[in-house]
Amino acid sequence: MLRSTIKASLRRVNGRSFSSGSAPHRKVAVLGAAGGIGQPLSLLMKLNPLVSQLSLYDIAGTPGVAADVSHINTRSEVTGYVGEDQLGKALEGCDVVIIPAGVPRKPGMTRDDLFNINAGIVKGLCTAIAKYCPHALVNMISNPVNSTVPIASEVFKKAGTYDEKRLFGVTTLDVVRAKTFYAGKANANVAEVNVPVVGGHAGITILPLFSQATPTANLPHDVLTALTKRTQDGGTEVVEAKAGKGSATLSMAYAGALFADACLKGLNGVPDVVECSFVQSSITELPFFASKVRLGKNGVEEVLGLGALSDYEKQGLEALLPELKSSIEKGIKFANQS
């Protein structure tokens, strides 16, 4: 019963199934696989039949996680790698690299606190990616994404491997939350709801475009304002609810698995795969911005525009730009300091 329920749930996600058919060989690495996000994410990637080889890496604990996950009777072969001396082997031949490595947010921690720890971790991992799998699609989960994606881009530029089509900040959890919260207020079937979320991936830089949500619902302004605020503060809501015992690890793993699946579908030539992601962009004056992106065989096929915005969303866009600009610049500055 559970197995059929899981499979049915996966089929319902975004109306697209985790289905392989005669899927090609695809190697996926999870960097930080023994962590709070990494473990459930590794499980979800093991369930994805588009993955033929699953590489799990962390600085400790990965052999156990790999042994556990490897017993699941799905397509992919699982290998665990532990310590920096095994990072190269973990990355060689990868098509997609997912990075949830680093520390999670705890009560009272700011994004700056996260930056001070995670920036160096991301820089080291991206240096290895540039060396061992420079053509992989990189899915950045490690926070603060508004800064870690620019860090990655600078590392790749220095190595001469940067391809803006292959670097993604995973903002899918913002979309997942927006869909869930909107469906509740609109009395809609959440499986049929779609809400684009643009901007960045922290606080007010997260801008859900409820005016473009489908199915449409004429929700009053105060409800839309509350929905926007809750989407922006979703991470804090979970951190406080867990009372110092974790952050949004499970929902983030789910969102990360969704986005990785979309990347794999794009690589495999599935048409019209569109997801929101924080990527190099020219739709605003900022060098990076989250919006709808069409995915293809080379990663980003097309960065889609914002579409029509409500007056409230236009105000939100103006308000987020300075903060997002500062976060991007902070990441670039860090990457170029050493």
Strand partners, 279: 289
Query: May I ask the CATH class of domain 27-170?
Result: alpha beta
Q: Exposed, middle or buried, 274 (CB in 10 Å: 0-12/13-18/19+)? A: middle
DSSP code per residue over 143-194:
SPHHHHHHHHHHHHHHHT---GGGEEE--HHHHHHHHHHHHHHHT--GGG-B
Which tokens is 132 given?
Answer: 């061992």
| Per-residue confidence (pLDDT) for residue 114, from 0 to 100 | 86
3-state secondary structure of 287: coil
| Per-residue confidence (pLDDT) for residue 8, from 0 to 100 | 52
Q: What tens digit of pLDDT does each residue of 235-268 get?
A: 999 999 999 898 999 999 999 999 999 999 999 9
Q: What tens digit of pLDDT does each residue of 16-64 get?
A: 444 545 789 999 999 999 999 999 999 999 999 999 999 999 999 999 9
| Per-residue confidence (pLDDT) for residue 2, from 0 to 100 | 46
Choosing from 25, 71, 135, 201, the catalytic residue is 201
Which tokens is 83 given?
Answer: 């310590």
User: Could you tell me the sign of the dihedral formed by the alpha carbons of 95, 128, 248, 203, in that order?
Assistant: negative
| Per-residue confidence (pLDDT) for residue 16, from 0 to 100 | 46
On the question of pLDDT at 10 being above 70, the answer is: no
Is residue 71 annotated as part of the catalytic site, yes or no?
no
On the question of pLDDT at 118 being above 90, the answer is: yes
For the question of whether the overall pTM of this predicted structure is more than 0.75, the answer is: yes
| Per-residue confidence (pLDDT) for residue 216, from 0 to 100 | 97
Q: What tens digit of pLDDT does each residue of 65-106 get?
A: 999 999 999 999 999 999 999 999 999 999 999 999 998 777
95 is in an annotated binding site: no
Report yes or no: 26 and 95 within 8 Å, Cβ to Cβ. Answer: yes
| Per-residue confidence (pLDDT) for residue 21, from 0 to 100 | 55
143 is in an annotated binding site: yes
On the question of pLDDT at 9 being above 70, the answer is: no
When pLDDT is averaged across residues 303-330 and rounded to a whole number, the result is 98
Please tell me which residue, 290 or 111, carries the higher pLDDT value. Answer: 290
177 is in an annotated binding site: yes
Residues of the chain with CATH 3.40.50.720: 27-170
| Per-residue confidence (pLDDT) for residue 4, from 0 to 100 | 52
Which tokens is 98 given?
Answer: 């997912």
37 is in an annotated binding site: yes
On the question of pLDDT at 271 being above 80, the answer is: yes
Residues of the chain with CATH 3.90.110.10: 172-330
113 is in an annotated binding site: no
On the question of pLDDT at 182 being above 50, the answer is: yes
111 is in an annotated binding site: yes
294 vs 292: CA distance, rounded Å: 7
CATH fold for the domain made of 172-330: L-2-Hydroxyisocaproate Dehydrogenase; Chain A, domain 2 (3.90.110)
User: Could you tell me the sign of the dihedral formed by the alpha carbons of 320, 323, 247, 4, in that order?
Assistant: positive
